[in-house]
Amino acid sequence: MSKTGRTALITGASAGIGAAFARHLAAEGHNLVLVARREDRLTALADELSSQHGVRCDVVPADLADRSAPRAIFEKTTSLGVDVDILVNNAGMSGNSTFADAPFDAHAAEIQVMITAVTELAHLTVPGMKERGYGRIVNLSSLAALLPPGASLLYTGIKSYVLDMSQALDMELRPHGIHVTALCPGFTHSEFHDVMGTRDAATSKLPALLWQSPEDVVREGWRAVNNGTPVCVPGMVNKVTAAAAKPIPTRIGYYLGKTLNPFKL
C-alpha cells in the first residue's frame, strides 16, 4: 500500500506533534505504526489516514511507562511483518510538582518514557535499518535542552540526554545511511500543557509569537532529518533564543564531538 515502500513507527501518535508526524508521513505515502495509550484515538487516526492516503496504518496501544513496552512494541511490528525504516520517538510527559514533593514513581515514569524507551526503541530498530542501508530517527528533545537548567523538574536534564544521545547516534550511524535528529521545539500548541495543568498560565503569559503549531514543528523536523541535520530547532524565535544561550553553536559542538570520538583516539 505504501507509495514509498517505507514504514514509520511513531510513539505518542494520538495527539499533538505525534499526530502531526503521522499525518505528514502518511501524506508522503509512508505506512505507519501508531503507538500511544489511547487505542480509540489511534484507531480513529489510522482509519482517517488509511482512507485519505491509501497507506497501511497499524495500531499498537502501549504505555511506554511500562518497562516491557518497547520490546513488546518491536515484537508486535515483527509479527505484523513490518520493517521499521523511520522511528519518531515523540512520546513525552512531565511532572507538575517539585522534585521533592513528587513520588519517585512519577520521576521513574518520566525517565522510562523519555530516556529508557527512546533509547531501547532505537536499539531495537537500528540493526534492521543498517541491514537495509536506510533509516531516519527523530527524537523529540526540547528547546529547554539548549537553555540553562530550570529548578525542580527533571525535564531539562532528560531532554539534554535526548539531545546528546541523538548526536552521538548520528555520528555512529550516518555511514550506514541512517540519519538521527534531535528535534528541539519550544512552546507548541498541543495537549502537553493540558496534561501538565499549565495551559491557561502559559497561553495567558506568553506572547503569541513564541508559539508554533505541531505542523510547523514537524515540517522543519522532517526536513532536517532528511537533510542530515543532527539538531533541529524549529522556528526563528527559538533559533535566536538557542543561539543566545549557547557560547558554542550546536553544529560546531557536534563536529568537535565527532572529531574527538574516544573510540578513534
CA angle 83, 84, 88 (to 5 degrees): 170
Q: Return the C-alpha torsion angle 102, 105, 111, 112, nearest 10.
A: -150
Helix axes 155-173, 250-259, angle to 10 degrees: 50
CA 97 – CA 153 distance, rounded (Å): 8
Pairwise CA distance, residues 228 & 184, whole Å: 15
CA distance 82 to 40: 22
In the residue annotation, 254 being an active-site residue is answered as no
Grid coordinates representing 244 are 543566545
| Cβ neighbours, 10 Å, residue 17 | 28
Q: Are 216 and 234 in contact (CB under 8 A)?
A: yes
DSSP single-letter state for residue 136: E
Kindly give, in sequence order, each residue whose CB lies less than 8 Å from that of residue 9, ignoring residues fewer than 6 positions away. 32, 33, 35, 73, 77, 84, 86, 87, 88, 121, 125
In Å, how far are 49, 69, 121 from 78, measured between CA atoms?
22, 14, 13
155 is catalytic: yes
Q: Which of 3, 134, 159, 246 is catalytic?
A: 159
Closest to 138 (Cα-Cα) out of 175, 172, 90, 83: 90
Q: Where are the alpha helices (DSSP H) in 68-141?
A: 69-79, 104-111, 117-132
Q: Which of 130, 155, 246, 258 is catalytic?
A: 155
Q: Which residues are catalytic?
A: 155, 159
